[in-house]
Structure 1
Amino acid sequence: MEDLRLTHERQEVRSFIQQVYLWMTLALLTTAGVAFAVSVSPSLVEALFANRSLFFVLAIAEVLIVVFLSRAINKMSAQTATVIFFVYSVVNGFTFSWIFLAYDLGSIASVFLVTAGTFGVMCAYGYVTKRDLTSVGNICFMALIGLIIASVVNIFIINDTFSLVISFIGVIVFVAITAYDTQKIKRMALNLSYTDDLEAKSKGSILGALTLYLDFINLFIYLLRLFGKKR
């Protein structure tokens, strides 16, 4: 009986994790597709980058969507949460279109593969490790606040060396956060494996996908700043 329970639990956890990665992958493909489409459209590029106010409105909208989805997901349906998640990935596509304008396409592809490999390794570690990564997550959260402050300061001083240091630290932080978030999502999966509430599981998978999507995007951006070849 105990073996049957454990087998069921593992199947439920595996199914949940697969759903998380499916949503994350679809969102990443959506962002990449929109970003590339915008970058090859002169009219969209001009509308987005000639008018800085529009770009900043979209950037602020990204933050508000993440905050809203994270805090209000339990009050909405799984379908609504899914739509909001993909709206966010589309908005990200517009704001990240600068990547295809600033960096060589081959360089983008190379860094993407490095990011995917690094991300995959850290996800695997976070999933299988028996070590509690909560303290690592707390340290990374404090480091993330420092990164945000440093990035804002660098907007005004525009120092290339400082930017490289920020990017290097950013890679380390998001490598660690990826492992922590994976462990956190696994725990969420274990908790949800005891319920038959499909709605709760669906919303949990969207929230997990959003978390890992953000980790992947940030890790990619920092690695691109370090190793990307500019046009």
Structure 2
Amino acid sequence: MADYNTYRTTQSVGTRQAVVDEGLRAYMNKVYGLMAVGMGVTAVAAYGISTLAINNPAVAQALYASPLKWVIMFAPLLVVFAFGAALNRLSVSAATLLFYGFAALMGLSISSIFLVFTGTSIVQTFLVTAIAFAGLSLWGYTTKKDISGWGSFLIMGVIGLIVASIVNIFLQSSGMQFAISILGVLIFAGLTAYDTQNIKNTYLQLAGSNRDFLGKSAIMGALQLYLDFLNLFMFLLQFMGNRE
């Protein structure tokens, strides 16, 4: 009887673990899927707006050489903070639409890369970023090492990057820009692995929660990885991009 009870207990634990593993795979697929669609929205928006600007000098003047450029530059940062504050009050569908709207706004914000860099170098940098991101995210997902301690240092690094980038807008120092780009690549490489592990652990903690809560959590995870990918791409472009 004891052996039978032990078998039943083992079988029950194994079944629960299988359910959790299946749920985790579905959850991570949703996170990566949302992120991929968001990245696609950004690419289409950036290319479409840059094409419009190239063919219409008045649009280019308004977007890239007027005070409006400062609004375009800093609007995504403000939306990110607003998104985090409003997420709990939104439905899953509304949060998803807001995420895609943010992705389109980000496309507007970075559209000038198509005027500055060659299309070939942009595609090459994107492919390199995708390969690096996949490797870093896979490592963050599979590693048994707890890297949660990286979080505070990486966030401090991001804040430092933002401050340094704002300062360099006025200084226009090529040396400072080079240092910012190197640190940016390192910081967002670390954040890719850190955020992936954090998203995985978040699901394991929330497994069994209501679907609406998990849905919003997946959207926030997608936003985090989207920002990691995009920033990694933008900093790598400073090294790999061939200017027009």
TM-score, scaled relative to structure 2: 0.90
CA distances 1:74-97 after superposition (whole Å, capped 9, x unpaired): 111111111111110111111111
Name 1:230's counterpart in structure 2: 243
Determine helix, strand or coil for the equivalent of 2:79.
helix
User: Does 2:164 correspond to 1:150?
Assistant: yes
Q: 1:58 aligns with which of 69, 72, 79?
A: 72
Amino acid at match of 2:193: A
Which residue of structure 1 aligns with residue 24 of structure 2? 13
Find the counterpart in structure 2 of residue 218 from structure 1.
Answer: 231
Report the AA paired with residue 127 of structure 2.
L
How far does residue 49 in structure 1 lie from its aligned partner after superposition?
A: 1.7
Query: Could you say which residue in structure 2 is the equivalent of 1:173?
Result: 187
* Matching residue of 1:33: 44
Quote how far apart the aligned CAs of 1:4 are. 0.4
* Counterpart residue number, 2:83: 69
Find the aligned partners of 1:139 and 1:25 in 2 and give their Cα distance.
27
How far residue 18 of structure 1 moved from its aligned partner, in angstroms, is: 0.3
- Counterparts in 2 of 1:41-190, with a 5 A limit? 41=52, 42-43=55-56, 44-51=59-66, 53-190=67-204
1:171 CA drift (Å): 0.3
Contact 1:38-1:45 within 8 A present in 2 as well: no
Q: Is the 8 A contact 1:126 1:179 kept in 2?
A: yes
Of structures 1 and 2, the larger Rg is shown by 2
Amino acid corresponding to residue 8 of structure 1 in structure 2: V
| Per-residue deviation, residues 130-178 of structure 1 (Å, max 9, x unmatched) | 1111221211111222212221221222111221111011100100011
**Cα drift, residue 55 of structure 1:** 2.2
Matched-pair identity in %: 37
Cα distance in 1 between the residues matched to 2:161 and 2:89: 32
Worse overlay, 69-78 or 27-36: 69-78
Post-superposition offset of 1:23: 0.4
Matched position secondary structure for 2:149: helix
- 1:61 Cα deviation from its structure 2 partner: 2.4
Instruction: Name the count of aligned residue pairs.
Output: 229
Aligned AA (2:28): I
CA-CA distance at 1:200 after TM superposition: 1.0
1:207 to 2:220 alignment = yes
TM-score (norm 1): 0.95
Name the residue aligned to 2:211: 198
Deviations 1:201-230 (A, max 9, x none): 211111000000000010000000112111
Give the number of the structure with larger relative contact order, counting CA–CA contacts within 8 Å between residues 6 or more apart: 1
CA distance in 2, matches of 1:163, 1:192: 41
CA RMSD of aligned residues (A): 1.2
Q: How far 1:45 sits from its partner (Å)? A: 2.8
* Structure 2 portions without partners, runs of 5+: 1-11
By how many angstroms is 1:198 displaced?
A: 1.5
Which ranges in structure 1 are unaligned for 5 or more consecutive residues? none
CA distance in 2, matches of 1:71, 1:99: 30
Code of the aligned partner of 1:210: L
